Every structure is written in C-alpha cells, then in structure tokens.
Chains A and B, each alone.
Chain A
C-alpha cells in the first residue's frame, strides 16, 4: 500500500500534469488564497494520509507522529497565503514536513544527549497487528539515512526524482544513484535470514554519489 494522493499518480512531468488536470494542487491553492475554505479541504483530503504515513514511517512514537502531521498542516495553512506557484505544491508540502521532522529529531536528540531522557523506541512505525511488515521495517531501518529518505519518498510518497532532489536539496543524479543503491541494499537485507538481518550493521557505501 502506498500513501498516494487520491487523484494524483506518479507522473513524469508535473507541468504536463497540471495541464491535463484542471483541478491541480496549485489551482486549489489559488482557490484557497482567494478565500475559499474548500481549496484547503481538497488539498487536506489528498495529502492527509501521505503526510501521516510520512511521519509514521519515520517516528516510533505514534502520538508524536499525529501531532507532527497536524502541525504540518497548520504550518501549511499559515504558509499558503505566501505560496507562489514557482514550486510544486507537493514539494512545498514535503519541504515543510521535513523541516518539522528535522526539528523534532533535533529536539529529541538534544533531550537524549543533554537531559538524559530516553531515546526513541528502536523500531519506527510499529503498531499492534502489523507484524507482517516487521521484516521490511527492520530492513529499511538499516539503510543509510539519506538512502532511506530517498527510498521512502519515492515509494510511499510517489515523489519524482526531481521532486526528491528539491526536497532533500541533492543533485538529481545523486538521487538516482542512491535510490538504486538503497533498493539493492534493501533486497539484500530482505533476502538475508531474519536473525542475521536483526544484527546487520547499517549499510554505508563508500561510494560517493
């Protein structure tokens, strides 16, 4: 299952998509900027699950994931009046989500390092009744941090290579090569017996992208 937005799909060229779909994200943003609450409702309906999944797959604490997802949409609400259509809405939204996620990570790291508070639970995204995907989650967790982000953004959030490059501020060729590396590493980890996979050190390639 992916958290694909309801009426969007993987697309090669966002500009072409906008031309084909009159109700594109950017047009709904424009509606909201004119004062229509419906504009935001449509966007929220499209992206609530992807954004919630975005945090669930990166944070172990479910309550925190809910809070950060809500915070992301509230931040979006405040930022939308300043939004200009030079950037795709999806990129804009995920950039906000990444900022909020990184701020949360820094806060937790600070608490763990200086205040002696317990670190996060080791397994992100675990919830009762979801053991079927445990091996996948453990394998993903062992990937290099940047490779993991690229893989998750591509697979679950259906961002194009160019959009991932913008969100993570990386060259597009780096995104491409790291994505391939992540998939190869993930396949190797998934083929490894579970016990070995549990103790597998994080994969960090010496290759410079």
Chain B
C-alpha cells in the first residue's frame, strides 16, 4: 500500500465513523426538538383547552423530528478533503493531511509532494478513528430524555379548565347525545309508521337529518337550540297546513280513548289473539285459574324466602308437606294447561334439601306463571277490543273504527265485484250501507259515496254500487293516512320539544321524558299518541299531573255502568306535605309570610336564605345566567313542579328577565 493509500484509507475509515457520529448527533438533536415540542404541547394541553389529538400529533412529530435528524445527520458522506481538514484541526496536525491530499493530486514539484505525503502518512498511520469519533449519544440525547421524562410527569398533572369550558363541553356532549337519540327516534318512527303523504315523510326525514347534524357536528347550545327552533317552526307550520283538512270527530275521539284505536281492525286483533292463544296453549282456556295458582305460588315463595333467610333446615315432615302441596300445584297447573317446569325442579331440590336451589326454581316457576298471567290479561284486553268493534259499517263509523270500516267496505266491494250476489244479499248490503249514511256524515265525502251506493244497490246497479263503495273506502283510507301522518308529525314535534328541553336544561335525553305510558308500557297507543311515553312528568298523584288524563276532557258515550263504591271503607289518613317542621330547623330556613303579587291580597310563603354574600364581578354573562335560569324554570314548568297558581307568574318573571 502506497503512502497516499495509507492516508486515504485512514481518511475513509474516519469519514464512515464521522458520518455515523453525525447521524447520532442529528438523532439526538431531532429528539431534543421533538421532546421539547411534546413538553410544550403537553403544557399547553394542561393549561388550555386544545384537543387531545394535538398531543398525539406532537408525539408523532417528535418521532419524525428524531428520525429526520438521524437522516439529515447521516445523509451526507463527508469528502476526504473535508475530513482531512477536520482531523488536522482536531489532532493539531498543522494541515499536514489536507495539504498532502491536495498537493498529491495537483501539479507541483515531485520532491515536495513526496515529502508532504511521507510526512502526512506518518501521522495518518497513528490515527485511530474509533477514538477520534466514539459512538455515543451526545448531550442533546440526555436533554431529550429528560424532556420526555418531564412530559411523562406532566401528563399526570390534572388539566386546568375553566368552568365555562367544562360547561361548554358538557353542553356539546349533551347536544350530541340528544341529537343521536332524536335521530334514532325519528328513524324508528319512519320504520314503524312510514308516512303516507310526501310532506310528512319529508318532515320526518328533516328531523332525522337534524338529529344527525346535532350528533355529528360540534354545535354550541345556542346553535343547537336555534336549529331545533327552526325545525320545530317548520314542522308546526306543516302540521297547521295539514290541519286544514280536519280529522273527523269520531276518529279523533276514538284515537283518544284507551283500547279503541282507529287503526285497529278485526283481522289484526284476531291475529294477535291467535298468537297469544298459541303461546299460552291450553292455559288460554282457563285463564281465571292462573290467579289462583299465582296466589298459591306467592305463599310458597314466602315460605321459600323465609327458609332461605333463616338458613334453617326444615323438618322432614314439613318438607314432605311442602313437596306435596307443590306436587298438587304442579298437577293443577298441568290440568290448566300451564307448563311450569320450575315446579318439578323445585320439588326435586326440596327433596334433596337444597334450599338455595329450591328458591331459585320457585322464582323461575313464579316468573313463568307471571308471564302466563300477563299474556292472559293481554288476551282478555284484545278480546275486549274485538268486542268493542262495531258489528256493522254504521256502528264502526259511529265509533270511529275506520280501519274496521275499511275492511267491511272492502268485503262489500269484493262481493259486488264477484257478481254472484243474491237479491237478499244485495238488499242486506243496501240496508247496511243506508244505515251507515247517517254516521258517515262526519266523514266528509264518505257519506255521499255511501248514499250513492245505497241508491245504486236499490236500483240493482251492482258495479256502480261497488264503485261507489270503493270510493268511500278510498276516502276513509285517505283519512286514516292523514291522521297517521298527523300523529307522526305531532310525535316529531314532541320529540323536538323534548330535545329542546334536554339541551336547554342540560339534562340527558332520558331524564327529559315523562316515563313510559302506563297503558301500553311504551309500545305506543292512543293514550300516548303512539309515542310510548306520556306527557306531564312522572305518573302519580299531585298537583299538575292531569296531562295524562284525557277522559275528563272528552265525554264518551260508552263509559259503561256506574260503579258503586259506597261500601269501600277508607280510613282517615294524615295529609301529606303539611307536616310540622322540626324544632331544630336552621333559623335561615324558617318560612315567613310576605305579600305576594300573584294573588293580590294573599300571601305566599318565602324563605330568606342568609349566608356569606358573593362579592366581585360575575364571570358569567347576565344573558347566559338568565337563559340558564329560564331553561330551568321552563323545565320545572314542563314537569309541573310549579303549582298552577304560580305558573304564569314564574313564566312572566323569566320572560321579563330576558328583556
């Protein structure tokens, strides 16, 4: 190897080491920058409400910085001349290497070149690249590590968030939750009761879209309320337009009466009845026996519960007696057609003296029996509904049973279209149709079509009569559709109002519903207008819960026989809500009387609360505070928490606040 090669070889080795060294240095510097960025973002995240993804982004950016530093550091391969100069400087070689390298390739005196190269080679041989460029992480790496540890520590420091921000986030989350519920409800409504008219369909779709918008976009409370108000306004307008064609009174009345649905038909009820009978089997025939069985079961359950509670073992005679009564009960249940498998298991567990298993089996049997009883009740209810359905077209129209009337008309049309109608049958149809003309006067054009059909029947014009009856049927169906759409739209308006209340009061969707309808248990009925939940807060006695009751507002001719309850003895009980206040009550909570402005001259109770007054400037805007207070007041009013006598005053007061 020539002396020049010795120099070049040493320089190449040094260049490789230096490149790696620079790459590590770049990595460290990049890591330091990245770690600094992470610390900065974490600190910002802890102090200001920036989104969480910025921390993730900073972590990724930190990694990218470190990688970029490594690549940038090691990207360029240093040239021999450059490394020679660097080594000259570092090793105090007095520019021997760089001069020799430069002069060896250029024109010049050969003897001088030889001297230079010889001298430089002598020094190059002594070079140790590993010592010259030790591979170790430089200082920035340690600082980067320290910064990362700091960031990790800071992560556990709780975030500082202003009350306003927390409130805003809560509101946004609430808006999203309400939006989701609203969209789900609207979709369910669309699936269960597809609208007949395009306007109603469009309105329901708009509500669905609004729900999606609230759920997907981050809207403020004010924006959400504005959107809801706009949507409600549109729906109300559409509903008013729809109301220009009023629903016939019998239909409306039927819709409000429990168990008398306009959409109920004999066929549908028969189907429901068949399904219940199939589910109950032989027990359907002896539904009254189930109550007796239930009483017996309750007694046995009590015994079983006391046995499990006392953890006492029964004597063998008691067990035999209990087993015998269980066996009797099982036998009777079998005779009644009720299959209670739990009873057999319970007898086995009792014989095995296993009280826990016995209690479980008894509970299972009781559960099965209760289900059977519920089904029996439902079956009874369906039978009652079927019994209520009018016998002929006139009666059906009179009771507002439009669906049943439609089916009756359909039958007549089919009969007339078949052409093999006897004179007697035609006369019977004519009589039934003629009888229905008077009740059909509330149904608009239906009466006209029926009268025409009756005349045509009288004249023997069967096809004409069939045509007129089909027209009447079509008109009735149209009314039914219109009413269904109206109900759907009203349900949507109620849902929007519920969403408005939930957002305005900052409560959850489920907190703003009045509870499931007691009549249909949330399935939807005439009483709850198909919503599944009732108006007017939680059911129960007290002032301001009359919204659930429709019966007293509309007089029904079919109230049934009056009930004589004179023999019922009710003991006198102390009044609720007027108990004496305890003697050790905080003096600040003792009520005093002030003159009220609601009922001039009268007095209203008030409580003066004494405490430390809050001084300084409020951090909440007056408008916000007033809006919140108004929302709370509105919520209280909606839930009838405010006595009726004060409702107007409360409403006026909060309306004035806004001004």
Q: Do A and B associate with each other?
A: no
**Which residues on B are within 8 Å of A, measured CB to CB?**
none
**Which residues on A are within 8 Å of B, measured CB to CB?**
none
